[in-house]
């Protein structure tokens, strides 16, 4: 009884004001769904006034109690029917919410449509309906609905943003662009935001030239619009990279305060190995904002990429000095100086490794005191110690760590196993991971690495068993499908299953060079040299490793393209002279390389 009174109180409050019509309202007759006829009073922008009958109250109670009990389908149906009867948008909204909870797409769309019809001034109602329409069959009328909404909107820019978000939900990106193109009328096209929306839709539809043109139009309409300048750079790099870079450099010179665009330009120049141009941009930024010390770090990154290590090191040390002064002035929880200094030290570690100065790299790792990076730094230290041939010290470093989670425990085991593997101590690596597998059962990373080690030992049945378990634990793990498919292929067993495994891996990650290599090797084993060559060349373009070179060279040799095979093998040998797969391949064919 108390629960009944509770719902009655809610409903009475919810329906306050429904009993008498507001002054000046228009009165119309609407048939009631329950066999009666009620007088409903409508005026744009106001709620309807409806006589609260026992039937309405009863059905409201049914709807609320159904929702309370989790019967959202029933609740939504009753709310929607009541909304039609009373023309009250609040009831339509409640129906929409209940339908969402019921996960009934048809009912949800019906409720959203009714809510939008009953409350045309509600941006939430309109957005909800249009969002649903964009993912349903109602998308046929979406252009017309969006056009109407844009034409009636007081805030055109916000309406354009919402329209862009709505069409972006469509799976068919070409249809999305067409709908947005139809929806944006001549008046809206004079707005930069409209051009940006069209640019983004064109980019998603892979119409890159149009995306670039629309971005340039947006910038022409508002030459100070940073978002447009960013798109001119990003989209233009695909269409006309030299022109896009030149235009962006000119725009950046005229707008020195646009920090984000400048940093984007620096990044893209570095990607093109235009290091001096990138440094010029950063130099101008530092002149404009001499107190922006983060630019020191950015400049050091560019210098490191340009292999100007001494200059990069000097700047990083200056940057660390600045952050040290900040830490002396403020407590660490009041500034990000500690994290910034640690990032600089990590870059110094990278530089030291490039110069094979491992002593300096270890010193920088030990100087990192940011708690968030402490674990990562010490793991990296152990890796370097292993690379230096000091496995006992690497073990000590790892043993000193106090893992705070099972993830950190697994990282320690995997790192130690990797150190042993790199040293050629496969049996020791197996022992480490077998112990970890006992302590941390069903950890996919441990089982995966253990399977690869078993393959080195020739324990193929154990390889298969562990990789199958990884797939059970992680059904979308493309690497596990690939590894198992490659194992079957390389050992020429279960080739039908190998085909299915590799096909699934390729569907999950179609551009993964390791998977492309495995697929190419499968086709070679099956005697399809043309397909093998296609996949192995794709893999080698993405990842010119010695192992892929070994496979690609073997296929070329089988095609009697011996000169090209020699060239590829030589490239692989130059990159990785100790690669066992390549060495075994050359031995089988009696080929010796200079």
Backbone dihedral angles phi then psi of residue 136, each to the nearest 5 degrees = -135, -175
Looking at residue 193, what is its pLDDT? 94
Top-level CATH class of 312-402? mainly alpha
Over residues 336-356, the pLDDT tens digits come to 889 999 999 999 999 999 999
Confidence of residue 290 (pLDDT cuts 50, 70, 90): confident
Among 19-23, 58-62, 116-120, 483-487, whose mean pLDDT is lowest? 19-23
Contact in structure between 66 and 74 (CB atoms under 8 Å): yes
Q: Tokens 């030290």 sit at which residue?
A: 345
Looking at residue 163, what is its pLDDT? 82
- Give yes or no for residue 128 having a pLDDT over 70: no
Q: Tokens 């725009």 sit at which residue?
A: 251
Across the range 367-381, mean pLDDT stands at: 94
* CATH entry 1.10.10 includes domain 1-133: no
Backbone dihedral angles phi then psi of residue 356, each to the nearest 5 degrees = 55, 30
Backbone dihedral angles phi then psi of residue 516, each to the nearest 5 degrees = -60, -40
Query: Please, how many CA atoms are within 13 Å of residue 462, restricted to the half-sphere of its CB?
Result: 14
Contact in structure between 253 and 218 (CB atoms under 8 Å): no
Cα angle, residue 31 at apex, residues 29 and 35 outer, rounded to 5°? 140
DSSP-assigned beta bridge partners for residue 288:
none
- Give yes or no for residue 460 having a pLDDT over 60: yes
- Give yes or no for residue 223 having a pLDDT over 50: yes
Looking at residue 9, what is its pLDDT? 45
Distance, in Å, from the CA atom of 119 to the CA atom of 126, rounded to the nearest integer, reads 8
Looking at residue 410, what is its pLDDT? 96
Looking at residue 39, what is its pLDDT? 33
Looking at residue 2, what is its pLDDT? 46
Q: Is the pTM of this model over 0.75?
A: no
With CA atoms as reference, report the closest residue to 387 among 345, 422, 431: 422
Over residues 534-546, the pLDDT tens digits come to 999 999 999 999 9
> Residue 528: in which H helix or E strand, if any?
none
Looking at residue 18, what is its pLDDT? 45
Contact in structure between 184 and 148 (CB atoms under 8 Å): no
- Give yes or no for residue 177 having a pLDDT over 70: yes
Confidence of residue 438 (pLDDT cuts 50, 70, 90): very high
Confidence of residue 153 (pLDDT cuts 50, 70, 90): confident
Distance, in Å, from the CA atom of 50 to the CA atom of 96, rounded to the nearest integer, reads 21
| Longest pairwise C-alpha distance within the chain | 101
Contact in structure between 95 and 102 (CB atoms under 8 Å): no
Average pLDDT, rounded, for the chain:
86
Over residues 302-329, the pLDDT tens digits come to 999 999 999 999 999 999 999 998 888 8
Confidence of residue 127 (pLDDT cuts 50, 70, 90): low
Distance, in Å, from the CA atom of 212 to the CA atom of 445, rounded to the nearest integer, reads 43
DSSP 272-326: TT-HHHHHHHHHHHHHH-TT-THHHHHHHHHHHHTT-HHHHHHHHHHHHHHHHHH
Distance, in Å, from the CA atom of 413 to the CA atom of 353, rounded to the nearest integer, reads 23
Confidence of residue 495 (pLDDT cuts 50, 70, 90): very high
Domain with CATH 1.25.40 in the chain: 1-133, 312-402
Q: Calculate what percentage of the chain has a pLDDT beyond 70.
A: 87
Distance, in Å, from the CA atom of 311 to the CA atom of 291, rounded to the nearest integer, reads 20
CA-based radius of gyration for the chain: 33
| 38 SS3 class | strand
Neighbours of 46 (CB within 10 A): 13
């Amino acid at each position: 009884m108390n629960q009944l009174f509770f719902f009655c109180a809610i409903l009475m409050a919810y329906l306050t004001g429904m009993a008498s019509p507001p002054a000046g309202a228009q009165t119309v007759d609407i048939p009631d769904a329950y066999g009666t006829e009620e007088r409903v009073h409508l005026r744009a922008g106001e709620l309807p006034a409806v006589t609260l009958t026992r039937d309405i109250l009863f059905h409201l109670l049914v709807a609320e109690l159904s929702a309370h009990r989790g019967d959202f389908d029933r609740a939504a149906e009753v709310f929607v029917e009541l909304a039609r009867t009373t023309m009250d948008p609040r009831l339509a909204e409640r129906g929409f919410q209940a339908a969402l909870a019921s996960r009934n797409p048809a009912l949800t769309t019906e409720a959203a449509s009714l809510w939008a019809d009953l409350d045309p001034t509600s941006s939430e109602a309109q957005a909800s309906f249009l969002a649903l329409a964009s993912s349903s069959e109602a998308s046929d009328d979406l252009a017309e609905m969006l056009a109407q909404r844009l034409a009636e909107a007081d805030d055109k820019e916000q309406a354009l943003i919402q329209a862009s978000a709505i069409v972006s939900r469509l799976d068919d990106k070409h249809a999305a662009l067409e709908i947005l193109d139809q929806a944006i009328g001549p008046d809206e096209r004079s707005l930069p935001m409209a051009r940006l929306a069209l640019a983004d839709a064109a980019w998603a539809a892979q119409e890159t030239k149009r995306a670039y043109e629309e971005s340039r139009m947006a910038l022409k309409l508002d030459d100070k619009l940073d978002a447009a300048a960013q798109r001119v750079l990003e989209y233009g790099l695909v269409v006309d990279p030299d022109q896009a870079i030149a235009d962006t450099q000119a725009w950046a010179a005229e707008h020195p305060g646009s920090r984000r665009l400048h940093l984007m330009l620096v990044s893209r120049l570095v990607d093109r190995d235009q290091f001096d141009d990138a440094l010029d941009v950063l130099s101008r930024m530092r002149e404009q904002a001499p107190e922006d010390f983060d630019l020191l770090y950015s400049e050091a990154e560019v210098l490191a990429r340009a292999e100007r290590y001494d200059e990069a090191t000097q700047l990083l040390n200056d940057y660390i000095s600045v952050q040290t002064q900040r830490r002396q002035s403020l407590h660490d929880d009041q500034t990000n100086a500690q994290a910034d200094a640690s990032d600089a030290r990590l870059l110094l570690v990278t530089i030291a490794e490039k110069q094979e100065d491992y002593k300096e790299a270890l010193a920088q790792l030990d100087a990192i005191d940011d708690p968030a990076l402490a674990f990562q730094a010490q793991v990296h230290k152990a890796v370097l110690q292993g690379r230096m041939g000091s496995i006992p010290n690497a073990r000590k470093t790892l043993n000193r760590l106090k893992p705070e989670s099972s993830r950190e425990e697994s990282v320690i085991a995997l790192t130690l196993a990797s150190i042993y593997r790199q040293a050629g101590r496969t049996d020791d690596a197996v022992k480490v991971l077998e112990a970890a597998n006992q302590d941390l059962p069903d950890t996919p990373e441990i089982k995966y690495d253990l399977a690869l080690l078993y393959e080195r030992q020739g324990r193929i049945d154990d390889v298969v068993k562990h990789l199958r378990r990884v797939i059970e634990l992680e059904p979308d793990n493309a690497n596990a499908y690939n590894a198992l498919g490659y194992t079957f292929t390389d050992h020429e067993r279960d080739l039908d299953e190998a085909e299915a495994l590799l096909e699934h891996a390729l569907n999950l990650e179609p551009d993964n060079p390791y998977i492309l290599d495995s697929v190419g090797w499968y086709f070679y084993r099956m005697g399809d040299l043309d397909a093998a060559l296609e996949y192995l060349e794709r893999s080698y373009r993405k990842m010119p490793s010695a192992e892929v070179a070994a496979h690609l060279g073997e296929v070329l040799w089988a095609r009697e393209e011996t000169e090209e095979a020699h060239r590829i093998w030589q490239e692989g040998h130059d990159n990785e002279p100790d690669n066992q797969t390549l060495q075994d391949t050359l031995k089988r064919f009696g080929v010796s390389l200079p």
